[in-house]
Amino acid sequence: MDKNKKLRVGIIGTGGIANPHLDSYLKLDNVEVVAGADLVPGKAEEFFRAHGLEGIHCYSSHKEMIDNEPDLDAVSVCTYNRTHAECSIYALDHGLHVLLEKPFCVTIDEAKAIMEAEKRSGKILTIGFQPRFDANMQMIKKIVQSGELGKIYYIQTGGGRRRGIPVSRGNTFIRDDTAGIGAMGDIGCYSLDMVLNAIGYPKPLTVTGYTSSFFGRDPETYMNCGHPEFAKEFGVDDFAAGFIRLEGGVILDFRISWAMNMDTPGDTLILGTKGGLRIPSTDCWNGTVGGPMTLYRDIAGEQTQTVAGAETEMVIPIINDGTDLFARKVSAFVDAIVEGGTSPIPSSQIVINQAIIDGIVRSARCGAEVTVDIPEID
């Protein structure tokens, strides 16, 4: 596109996650946010006013916005999970670049449909995994790809919250008709991306999965927020686990939680034939590294370990560089459009993430191991 022309952006969905999208766009001199859409009457107008913006064209649906804004270049899709596919496909089919918030969508069939629209359009589709831009996440990948750990054969990952079902802004995260998936789509996808990206996103072959919702369906869970009725509306997972066989002989042991009687389901462990890497979980999982990483290996027949930040000869640095990861995600999307580049976080990778979540759901329903097929996009 013309580098002298400002990129015209619309925001679809003006709930909580739309705030950092808008804030990040407003920091960019080559972007103009011109429109927004939300199903709730007056919500889009209120959203932009809260950011001190006047004159933004507001609409009651993504279709109305796109149909009436012929000069749009790109959109951020910030809606609830069940509408990710619908909004993204419509935008792509109308020639718009799309920054789609995570999770990719709800089912693997939806992911395939989005990717088909992406291919038809020739536009950029990137998925909102801002932890990719964290220097510590990049260090994890660098360590793995360096061969320091040898052949990777087993990975344990996940995270969780002792109590952290996201209902502070209402019930859209917990209803099946709006969210479709729960803890897996909200925070579990971050854990999967952290390790899958580090090892090159191999394809999953089979999945044995389990999901539960013991806390989500218990009225006592919501006593502090004053909405015990949410228990009857809860229709997704608050805990999930999966045992995944990946190409290349790698086993992935995954678990994630919104609520459980434990502080964490465990650190992330990446085990290789030459070394192992421990990545501490956080107290309330948010897609970040929870503390100093530890590298375990043998040197001259002796078992050693190197702790990040310790006063040793070999240090795995924990980097606190102050990077605004969300702003970096948005600027990478804009840069790709302006420079004619490729997607910063491509659907060809995240479809594997989605296929694992889809496999866990299918396996949990049938109570048996299921095979995983990654869709081919013609």
- What domains are there in the chain, each with its CATH number? 7-131+326-345 (3.40.50.720), 135-323+357-366 (3.30.360.10)
Strands (E), 284-347: 294-299, 302-307
Say whether pLDDT at 313 is over 80. Answer: no
Going by pLDDT thresholds of 50, 70 and 90, the confidence category of residue 317 is low
**Cα Rg, the chain, nearest whole Å:** 21
Residues 162-196 have pLDDT tens digits of 999 999 989 999 999 999 999 999 999 999 999 99
The vertex-88 CA angle with 345 and 324, nearest 5°, equals 40
Q: Please give the pLDDT value at position 282.
A: 74
Say whether pLDDT at 307 is over 80. Answer: no
Q: Please give the pLDDT value at position 286.
A: 63
> Strand pairing partners for 209?
242
**Element holding 364 (H helix, E strand):** helix 347-366
Question: Whole-angstrom Cα distance, residue 378 to residue 374?
Answer: 13
Say whether pLDDT at 303 is over 90. Answer: no
Share of the chain above pLDDT 70, in %: 95
Question: Whole-angstrom Cα distance, residue 275 to residue 194?
Answer: 18
Q: Is the pTM higher than 0.75? A: yes
Say whether pLDDT at 82 is over 90. Answer: yes
Say whether pLDDT at 223 is over 50. Answer: yes
> For the ranges 219-223, 265-269, 315-319, 364-368, which has the lowest average pLDDT?
315-319
Say whether pLDDT at 315 is over 50. Answer: no
Say whether pLDDT at 324 is over 90. Answer: yes
Residue whose tokens read 């502070």 = 168
Q: Please give the pLDDT value at position 284.
A: 61
> Strand pairing partners for 275?
297
Residues 119-140 have pLDDT tens digits of 999 999 999 999 999 999 999 9
Say whether pLDDT at 318 is over 90. Answer: no
Say whether pLDDT at 305 is over 80. Answer: no
Q: Please give the pLDDT value at position 292.
A: 82
Of 191, 134, 131, the C-alpha closest to 318 is: 134
Say whether pLDDT at 275 is over 80. Answer: yes
**Residue 87 is encoded by which pair of tokens?**
């909004």
Say whether pLDDT at 209 is over 50. Answer: yes
Q: Please give the pLDDT value at position 125.
A: 98
**CB–CB of 223/171 below 8 Å?**
no
Going by pLDDT thresholds of 50, 70 and 90, the confidence category of residue 320 is confident
Q: Please give the pLDDT value at position 1.
A: 66
Question: Whole-angstrom Cα distance, residue 199 to residue 142?
Answer: 10
Q: Please give the pLDDT value at position 148.
A: 93
> For the ranges 95-104, 114-123, 281-290, 298-307, which has the lowest average pLDDT?
281-290
Q: Please give the pLDDT value at position 322.
A: 87
Say whether pLDDT at 314 is over 50. Answer: no
Residues 276-285 have pLDDT tens digits of 999 988 766 6
What average pLDDT score do residues 18-38 get? 98
Question: Whole-angstrom Cα distance, residue 348 to residue 104?
Answer: 11
What average pLDDT score do residues 103-129 get? 98
What average pLDDT score do residues 73-84 get? 98
Say whether pLDDT at 300 is over 90. Answer: no
| Mean pLDDT estimate for the chain | 93
